[in-house]
Amino acid sequence: MQRTQVDRRPRERLARLGELVLGGGRVTRAEALWLFHLENPADIFDLMSWANRLRQHFKGNKVHLCSIVNAKAGGCSENCRFCAQSSHYQTGSPKYGFIEPEPVLEAAAEAGRNGVTAVGLVAAWKGLNEGPMLDEVCERIGELKASGKTRPDASLGIIKSQRVADRLKQAGLECYGHNLESSKRFFPQHCTSHTYEERLETIGYLKTAGIKICSGGIIGMGETREDRCDLAFSLKLIGANVVPINILNPIKGTPFEQQPPLPPLEILKTIACFRFILPRQEIMIAGGRTLNLRDLQSMVFFAGASALMVGNYLTTLNQPVEKDLQMLQDLGLDPHWDHDFADQDNVQFDAAPPGGALQRLDAQAPEVQRLD
């Protein structure tokens, strides 16, 4: 029987990079690209093993759970090519105006019973300006805060003034979800009705107001591995506290409905690479996990994830919360998260976001450098 020769160099290099990050060091973009381009399943599982060690070292066995409430559904003016709620596409997605207090408080109570840390109000519109709608949003946030059941979060689109961000903070908002979605280079391929720079500007206002940032993206839209790598470094640069990784769920009626799915091992590898680049951040697995990972959902924690979105998504179903809680128990993980972001070494920037820095980052040489 003939034995297959195994190249030990990737394993040795993975060990060097893993020890580097464990010791407080940082991987370079070239090193991270090398990780993203690993192809051999044995090497990918070695990568995941190191990502798991990084998760345990920096995050312990605590898992941050959050859920969302679709506070205003459908009819969004933006043309995000992945989104069922865009008015540009015919998807049959539900449509309704901003919800009353009762459903929000019911969602908070259910989340509290299940040990979920945060409930986020999500609205399908371009953004939030000063006026009666801001007043109503602040009322919902204040009611959620006063209930004491969970942390009040929100994802309300683009913010164009510091005053709006300050009002949200005064109402009791603690964390705001605003994904970069992809690399700056790839962004126009999935949205042209607003810009990457507008998203950076929003994050700048929120950080100046003292609001924590939940920002990540969607993988599987046709982007390259370089795009995923640059997204992770951009999220590090803006100092995101929670980094949700969504996997595209191709919705019928959207331009991405025929997009082929990413292989599960490619998804898990991406999570592990994000952990190497963002060792102290809460890496959250969000939309698309049940569809794309199927029986491998529990592997996200072995790949370095430390947070999970539970309950149903905006327009698609998730597996029951009880099943997620059982999964965590079986893995020896604790859903009673208590880090409060105090363990993160956030990067700070002024209200005017560092667009130039991100442009320089995205302009770096895209070719992977295999440094053995």
| 265-282 pLDDT, tens digit each | 999 999 999 999 999 999
pLDDT of the residue at 2: 56
- Specify whether the CB–CB gap between 337 and 63 falls below 8 A: yes
* Res. 310: pLDDT tops 80: yes
pLDDT of the residue at 360: 43
* Res. 351: pLDDT tops 50: no
Instruction: Report, as an integer, the average pLDDT of 1-11.
Output: 69
Q: How confident is the model at residue 61 (pLDDT cuts 50, 70, 90)?
A: very high
Give the residue among 85, 62, 66 at the shortest CA–CA distance from 74. Answer: 85
Instruction: Report, as an integer, the average pLDDT of 250-266.
Output: 95
Residue range 161-214, pLDDT digits in tens: 999 999 999 999 999 999 999 999 999 999 999 999 999 999 999 999 999 999
Q: Average the pLDDT over each of 4-13, 119-128, 149-158, 273-282 and give the range with the smallest value.
A: 4-13
pLDDT of the residue at 113: 83
Cα angle 174, 179, 184; round to 5: 140
pTM for the whole structure: 0.90
3-state helix/strand/coil string of the chain:
CCCCCCCCHHHHHHHHHHHHHHCCCCCCHHHHHHHHCCCCHHHHHHHHHHHHHHHHHHHCCECEEEEEEEEEECCECCCCCCCCCECCCCCCCCCECCCCHHHHHHHHHHHHHCCCCEEEEEECCCEECCCHHHHHHHHHHHHHHHHCCCEEEEECCEECCHHHHHHHHHHCCCEEECCCECCCCCHHHCCCCCCHHHHHHHHHHHHHCCCEEECCEEECCCCCHHHHHHHHHHHHHHCCCEEEEEECCCCCCCCCCCCCCCCHHHHHHHHHHHHHHCCCCEEEECCCHHHHHHHHCCHHHHCCCCEEECCCCCCCCCCCHHHHHHHHHHCCCECCCCCCCCCCCCCCCCCCCCHHHHHHHHCCCCCCCCCC
Alpha carbon distance 247, 193 (integer Å):
22
pLDDT of the residue at 365: 36
Q: Average the pLDDT over each of 1-10, 12-21, 260-269 and give the range with the smallest value.
A: 1-10
Q: How confident is the model at residue 354 (pLDDT cuts 50, 70, 90)?
A: very low
* Res. 317: pLDDT tops 60: no
pLDDT of the residue at 366: 37
